[in-house]
């Protein structure tokens, strides 16, 4: 049985080669339709993946709980009012440690495994040997003109799905090291001239060069427009940046088990509030499935595109169907002779049927190869304007979606099968004696 099937495929391939001129002309439409459909499906899947990564970068992985804590005043929560100038650095550090201690107690009590605190703030001064705020090729964006800092814990990078370019992420004991380790993004790295991280480049945080940090790692930008950003250990924030007012309230983020987000939100809010005391107003929230809804919308869009692509392929297959019927008509005498010398109707049917299947499968494969080249080459050539400028860096880290390739080849083979049934049926219904006389 297997030998007969392989023999039928080989015979079909030989017939395709004999009629290659007509086959190629008829398959151009099928191949082009597969290329267009696979490219759009792949681009949609990769853009959806890029969107999920972007969401994770800014808000944490799907289901991340964000807890805010504001110190109350007589009139209500103190959302942004900075401390007075008379407030000492020791008092700021004391308040920061008080909040952190409450977070650590909450983590221990609830058994949280993936968590971080987060405090974003502007950096007033940044300098280093060879520091260039507007590095090439981003001179028009001036990435280092307004640098920012983020005080985080080591799990921050996993929680926000950051990719490491060089060096390492922050570690648990980095907040106790006098070298003040920091992780920077690619934009900040570019302002330094991209020195090897193994040389431990230093950045000065004041005009007098009295305070400095040491770069131990570089993370990948989510897009080319990110400004220079430094990620410092949360434990060291109050000491490395003593002028930072506590009115810039830190956040507490953690990832609960999937399906327990709502319960985790309520429990964490109550537990952290109990440790902080009545002087703080604590609130927790999460994205409530926004990322999943976005992914679902992406899948629906891909299905719509696949349906449209399938219609286009069917239209292109009309030419293949016409060619197949014409080819069978021109081979009537050959088919009659084969039937007369013992070829079964089943063998003749599959021989004609597989000619169409083999041809369209090859066309689909070629279309998928062209789609892969399109996805990988166009962003590197700078074609596509804003879309590819935003997308090219992430596309380089995302594999070409296998579903796009399988859908393209699968639909082309299916179309070939549908287009091959009619010519194969015509060939089988011919009486051998009539075919020989034709």
* pLDDT per residue as tens digits for the range 217-258: 999 987 778 899 999 999 898 888 876 644 467 899 999 998
Q: Is the pLDDT of residue 52 over 80?
A: no
Look at 34-43, 254-263, 287-296 and tell me which has the smallest mean pLDDT.
287-296
pLDDT value for 73: 64
Among 58, 425, 96, 416, smallest CA distance to 245 is for: 96
Count of CA atoms in the C-beta half-sphere (13 A) of 133: 9
What gap in Å lies between CA 370 and CA 372, rounded to an integer?
Answer: 5
- Start-to-end C-alpha separation, the chain: 32
- pLDDT digits 0-9 by tens, 1-22: 566 556 656 665 666 566 665 5
Q: Is 411 exposed, middle or buried (0-12, 13-18, 19+ CB in 10 A)?
A: buried
Among 165, 141, 304, 112, smallest CA distance to 228 is for: 141
What percent of the chain is predicted at pLDDT more than 70? 74
Q: Is 178 exposed, middle or buried (0-12, 13-18, 19+ CB in 10 A)?
A: exposed
- pLDDT digits 0-9 by tens, 131-189: 988 887 766 678 888 899 999 999 999 999 898 999 999 999 998 898 999 999 999 99
Domain boundaries of the chain, sorted by first residue? 2-54+292-437, 124-240
Among 316, 369, 348, 381, smallest CA distance to 29 is for: 316
What gap in Å lies between CA 186 and CA 183, rounded to an integer?
Answer: 10
pTM, entire model: 0.69
């Amino acid at each position: 049985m297997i030998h007969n099937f392989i023999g039928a495929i080989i015979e079909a391939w030989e017939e395709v080669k004999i009629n290659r001129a007509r086959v190629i002309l008829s398959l151009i439409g099928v191949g082009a339709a597969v290329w267009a459909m696979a490219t759009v499906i792949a681009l949609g899947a990769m853009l959806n993946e890029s969107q999920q990564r972007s969401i994770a970068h800014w808000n944490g992985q799907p289901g991340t709980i964000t807890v805010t804590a504001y110190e109350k005043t007589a009139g209500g929560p103190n959302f942004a009012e900075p401390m007075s100038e008379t407030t000492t650095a020791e008092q700021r550090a004391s308040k920061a440690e008080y909040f952190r201690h409450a977070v650590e107690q909450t983590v221990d009590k609830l058994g949280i495994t993936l968590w971080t605190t987060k405090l974003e703030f502007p950096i007033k001064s940044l300098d280093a040997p060879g520091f260039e705020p507007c590095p090439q090729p981003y001179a028009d964006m001036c990435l280092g003109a307004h640098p920012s800092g983020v005080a985080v814990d080591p799990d921050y990078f996993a929680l926000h799905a950051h990719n490491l370019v060089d060096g390492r992420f922050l570690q648990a004991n980095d907040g106790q090291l006098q070298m003040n380790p920091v992780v920077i993004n690619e934009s900040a790295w570019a302002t330094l001239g991209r020195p090897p991280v193994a040389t431990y480049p230093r950045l000065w945080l004041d005009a007098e060069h009295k305070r400095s940090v040491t770069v131990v790692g570089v993370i990948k930008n989510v897009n080319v427009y990110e400004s220079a950003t430094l990620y410092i250990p949360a434990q060291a924030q109050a000491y490395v940046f003593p002028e930072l007012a506590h009115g810039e309230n830190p956040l507490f983020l953690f990832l609960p088990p999937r399906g327990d987000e709502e319960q985790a939100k309520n429990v964490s809010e109550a537990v952290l509030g109990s440790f902080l005391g009545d002087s703080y107003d604590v609130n927790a929230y999460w994205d409530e499935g926004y990322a999943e809804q976005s992914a679902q919308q992406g899948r629906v869009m891909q299905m719509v595109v696949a349906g449209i692509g399938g219609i286009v392929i069917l239209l292109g297959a009309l030419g293949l169907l016409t060619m197949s019927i014409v080819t069978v008509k021109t081979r009537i005498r050959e088919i009659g002779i084969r039937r007369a010398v013992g070829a079964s109707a089943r063998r003749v049917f599959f021989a004609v049927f597989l000619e169409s299947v083999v041809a369209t499968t090859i066309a689909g494969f070629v279309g998928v190869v062209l789609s892969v080249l399109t996805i990988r080459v166009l962003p590197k050539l700078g074609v596509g304007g804003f879309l590819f400028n935003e997308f090219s860096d992430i596309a380089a880290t995302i594999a070409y979606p296998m579903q796009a390739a399988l859908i393209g080849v699968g639909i082309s083979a299916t179309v070939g099968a549908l287009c091959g049934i009619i010519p194969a049926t015509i060939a089988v219904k011919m009486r051998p004696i009539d075919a020989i006389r034709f």
